Amino acid sequence: MRHRRGGEESPSRRVLGREGEIDEPKALRGDVENLIDEALNQNPGNCPFMIFVDINVPHVPGIPMQERAWFHDVRMLIESLGAPSAAKPSDFNGLFLTNAPYHWDIAMPAPPAEHLMILPGAVRHALAPELAARVAGAVQGYGAVPDEV
């Protein structure tokens, strides 16, 4: 499933409350490589470019994020792109992965949302540092619900 707003697209794989069988090993991988590849193919190439992917994987209590299957897939994909440098800058200014695992079991209390940010040092098209910091702050606050309003 994809969510589309005003020309922007955020790939997503699961809809809250959808019925059907779930292939849990596949779900835990998150199909991250395909989602990121799709996003990379949408790069216009002439301006700053950020990638946002909501991976929608089930909650895995007790396993650190860096030990999860989807995280391994992200690491392998980023390594395959090579380290950005002045001679070979990154085509994207940021890769932001989010996960709101409450989609998987609405009967349980909602686990906290998760996020992973990858910000390459050398990029093809610079982004204003203030804007990059605001986007990073928004992603860090993803899924946070205040105790009081």
Task: Determine contact, residues 37/78, Cβ cutoff 8 Å.
Answer: no
* 22 secondary structure, DSSP code: -
CB of 3 within 8 A of CB of 10?
A: yes
Examine residue 146 and state whether it is found in any structural domain, yes or no.
Answer: no
Does residue 15 surpass a pLDDT of 70?
Answer: no
Handedness of CA 18, 19, 23, 28 (dihedral sign): positive
The structural domain count of the chain equals 1
User: Mean pLDDT in the chain?
Assistant: 80
Assess if residue 148 is contained within a domain.
no
Residue 95 lies in a domain: yes
Residue 66 lies in a domain: yes
Chain CA centroid to CA 147, Å? 26
Residue 68 lies in a domain: yes
Provide the residue range defining the domain that includes 8: 2-140
Spatial distance between the Cα atoms of 78 and 126, rounded to a whole number of angstroms: 20
Q: How confident is the model at residue 47 (pLDDT cuts 50, 70, 90)?
A: very high
> What per-residue confidence (pLDDT) applies to 23?
59
User: Is residue 145 in some structural domain?
Assistant: no
Alpha helices in the chain (DSSP H): 24-29, 32-40, 69-81, 129-140
pTM: 0.75
